[in-house]
Amino acid sequence: MEAQQESIAALEAEIRELQASLQRKKDELHSLKQSTVTAGKLTNNDIARYSRQIILPQVTVAGQLKLKASSVLIVGAGGLGCPAGLYLASAGIGELGIVDYDTVEVNNLHRQVLHSELTLNLPKAQSARAALQQINSQLKVRTYEVQLKSENALEILQPYDIVLDCTDNVATRYLLNDACVLLKKPLVSGSALQFEGQLTIYNYNGGPCYRCIFPTPPPPETVTNCGDGGVLGAVTGVIGSLQALEAVKVLLKLDGTLAGRLLIFDGTASSFRNVKLRPRREDCAVCSAKATITKLIDYEQFCGMRASDKDMALKVLQSDERISVEDLKSIRDSRKPHLVIDVRNPLEFEICHIEGSVNIPLKQIIEDKGLDDLKQRTSGGIPVFVFCRRGNDSQLAVKHLRKKLEGVAEAKDVVGGLHAWHYRIDNNFPIY
Ligand SMILES: Nc1ncnc2c1ncn2[C@@H]1O[C@H](COP(=O)(O)OP(=O)(O)OP(=O)(O)O)[C@@H](O)[C@H]1O
């Protein structure tokens, strides 16, 4: 009897659970139907908000609905990703994804216009989401606070209609290209450095992919980034905004996109140039019938910039050829004679330098130019300590200086450069 009552209770519980599950499914269906109805119609608010673009014959109500139903992934919420995000959010794109693993730093603010003093040190993806949703509360934003890598790229890119490459490194460019080819997605690719910018769409409308144009990566030492070469904020603004424009054109299926063409912007001359890109390569490693890349590879290794390899390459100096900032500080405090050489370029030296240091740019040291009085200045064994911004170029300089000063004086690399001086010795010393 007792056993029977237990099974009755169990069956009743099961029925209640099934009824609850049925109700949940009904609710899900209802909200799905609702969202289809609203996705298929512009609200009064949409009409008022987007009226200036809806009245364009290239857009119309149908186009605005397409934008509302579209999703765009922005990889990199930096100099390019911020303006691109601004215009895509303002245009009424339904959903934006933002991938960035970095946090907001003060040196980002001159160009990364979604971030502000209030969001310093916050993850860039979060900071960008907050700013974009302030502009458009209807916008759905998904953030990915991760480094885009081979392991996660396909899963992250998969749900989006189009991808914007707003990053700043070659390995991510190849990764995004290959992922977009494998997933058959257009890739709007931008870059900006100093006063110049470039822009194109890869893998779209029969146009080439990034690998068709650049089958092999450039040697790592020939690549300059904004941190080293500098960039004007308005230039990233121009290119990022154009990336948004190209994305909107692709989503609206308009003619005249940059597929197969490269747009080059020269901010010094205020000029734009169009260069026709070569057609798709018949033996392209990823997008041709002869493709050898059928899944994502190790892009850092492919680009010759695996961190450990880079570290190995830089570990050229023995420990007795280097000095810590703490040891240098004690030498300076004790007023023992010494010479500090700063190997950055003169414009950077002008921004800030260690008191009493002498500026001899790395290039000059490598070419052995203007070093004639160095032996004289160090005669009697006056030691030389070499600074750069982060402690990489100074190691190269020391290799040359040690040869030059052999038998006269010792040259040592200051480990970590001016950044280490700021963080470990003097917080008031500026960094950039
Ligand atoms: N693989 C990647 N995954 C996620 N984010 C990336 C990846 N590669 C680059 N990024 C992001 O792309 C953005 C590029 O921005 P930008 O070119 O303005 O340079 P930055 O790194 O912010 O600044 P700076 O070069 O001055 O140090 C950065 O925010 C960076 O974190």
How confident is the model at residue 418, as a pLDDT?
A: 97
How confident is the model at residue 24, as a pLDDT?
A: 76
Between 45 and 228, where is the model more confident? 45
Q: Using one digit for the tens of pLDDT, what is the confidence trace for 200-232?
A: 999 999 999 999 999 999 887 778 888 888 999
Q: Separation of 153 CA from ligand 1 center, angstroms? A: 16
Among residues 166, 226, 303, 352, which one is catalytic? Answer: 226
How confident is the model at residue 95, as a pLDDT?
A: 98
Q: Where are the domains of the chain?
A: 70-303, 319-425
Number of neighbours of residue 420 by Cβ within 10 angstroms:
19
Annotated catalytic, 226?
yes
**pLDDT value at 111 more than 90:** yes
Q: Are 152 and 158 in contact (CB under 8 A)?
A: no
- To test the pocket of ligand 1, the residue of 100, 143, 228, 236 to mutate (highest count of ligand atoms within 8 Å of its CB) is 100
Q: Using one digit for the tens of pLDDT, what is the confidence trace for 125-164?
A: 999 999 999 999 999 999 999 999 999 999 999 999 999 9
Q: One fold for both 70-303 and 319-425?
A: no
Q: What angle do CA 24, 26, 28 make, to 5 degrees?
A: 70
Max mean pLDDT among 33-37, 241-245, 309-313 falls in 241-245
How confident is the model at residue 184, as a pLDDT?
A: 98
Token representation of residue 224: 């300059």
Mean pLDDT of 70-85: 98
- To test the pocket of ligand 1, the residue of 167, 177, 302 to mutate (highest count of ligand atoms within 8 Å of its CB) is 167
Q: Separation of 132 CA from ligand 1 center, angstroms? A: 18
Q: How many CA atoms lie within 13 A of 207 on its CB side?
A: 22
How confident is the model at residue 291, as a pLDDT?
A: 97
Mean pLDDT of 75-101: 98
CATH number of this structure's domain 70-303: 3.40.50.720
Annotated catalytic, 388?
yes
Q: Using one digit for the tens of pLDDT, what is the confidence trace for 360-388?
A: 999 999 999 988 889 999 999 999 999 99
Q: Separation of 229 CA from ligand 1 center, angstroms? A: 15
**pLDDT value at 116 more than 50:** yes
Confidence bin at 312 (pLDDT 50/70/90): very low
Residue closest by Cα to atom 16 of ligand 1: 78
Token representation of residue 432: 């950039």
Among residues 82, 180, 303, 388, which one is catalytic? Answer: 388
Q: Worst-scoring range by mean pLDDT, 73-77, 98-102, 265-269, 391-395? A: 391-395
For residues 98 and 85, give the distance between their C-alpha atoms in angstroms, rounded to a whole number.
9
Residue closest by Cα to atom 1 of ligand 1: 148
The number of the ligand 1 atom at minimal distance from the alpha carbon of 124 is 29
For residues 396 and 313, give the distance between their C-alpha atoms in angstroms, rounded to a whole number.
11
Residues having CB within 6 Å of any atom of ligand 1: 76-79, 99-102, 107-108, 112, 124, 147-148, 167-169, 172, 225-227
**Residue in the structure block whose two tokens are 């299926």:** 253
How confident is the model at residue 27, as a pLDDT?
A: 64
User: What does the H/E/C string look like for 211-227?
Assistant: HHHCCCCCCHHHCCCHH
169 belongs to an annotated ligand binding site: yes
Confidence bin at 10 (pLDDT 50/70/90): confident
Residue closest by Cα to atom 20 of ligand 1: 78
Domain at 319-425, CATH homologous superfamily: Rhodanese-like domain (3.40.250.10)
